[in-house]
Structure formats: C-alpha cells, structure tokens
Amino acid sequence: MAYSDKVLDHYENPRNVGSFDKGDNEVGTGMVGAPACGDVMKLQIKVGEDGKITDAKFKTYGCGSAIASSSLVTEWVKGKTLDQALEIKNTAIAEELALPPVKIHCSILAEDAIKAAVEDYRKKHAS
C-alpha cells in the first residue's frame, strides 16, 4: 500500500523517539497495544510545574502509520495542558496523515497512548 507524504516524512524522520525514566515524578507513561495487528506503542509525557506538557517521547513497534501517528502526537501535545491533550482525537491524526481506512486503528493507538500517559501521570499525583 502507498503511504502519504506526511506518513513517510514522520516515518523516515520520526520526532521525539526515545524514553524518559518511568519512575520520574514528572513523567506519565502510556503503553498500548492494537488487538487488530499486535503492534505496541509506548508514549510518555513530561509535565512542567504549570501543568503543561513540556516534552514527549515515544517508542513504537509497529507499522509506518503507527510510527507516524505517535511521532505526530508527540509534537501536538507539547505546550498543552493534560485536558487539552485528552482532546486530541484519532480522527484529527488520521486526517492530518491522510490515513486510509485500514490504517485508522493505528491513529486510535496514538489517541489511546496519550490517554494512558495522562492517566498514569494523574495516578502518580492523586493524593
């Protein structure tokens, strides 16, 4: 299948690949898997004192669309509050990357990964 230019760009030059220390109090980690294909995505956010996301990193073991989706959202979440990050919809990711219908679940993986990362961060700070 043919990938769009934007998918290829993020696939060939992925932004923000890597990891933060999971135990770091400023870090939220989301790890999700796609039942449809078995791909796995880890997405981490780093949150500043003002409650805004200052940095994000990902590691994705999956297809080009999943890698591009995670690369894109690590760029999108920077500067956002946690609530704003939760508003990122997979449909916006799919639209930005011009994903075909069979690759929509790759963008859902990225949306789920952000949600999981925010949840992890909030769990650490709930008390």
Q: Which residue among the candidates 106, 110, 116, 117 is catalytic per the annotation?
A: 106
Catalytic residue check, 106:
yes
Q: Does 63 bind ligand FES (CB under 6 A)?
A: yes
Q: Is 99 in the site for ligand FES (CB under 6 A)?
A: no
Binding of ligand FES by 106 (CB under 6 A): yes
CB of 2 to ligand FES, least distance (A): 15
* Residue 63 falls in the annotated catalytic set: no
Q: Which of 65, 69, 124, 70 is nearest to 100 (CA)?
A: 65
Query: Cβ of 75: how many Cβ atoms within 10 Å?
Result: 12
Catalytic residue (one of 37, 40, 86, 104) = 37
Count helices and strands in the chain by DSSP H and E runs? 5, 3
Using CB under 6 A as the binding rule, whether residue 109 contacts ligand FES is answered as: yes
Q: Which residues bind ligand FES (CB under 6 A)?
A: 34, 36-37, 39, 62-63, 65-66, 103, 105-106, 109
Which positions are annotated as active-site residues?
37, 106
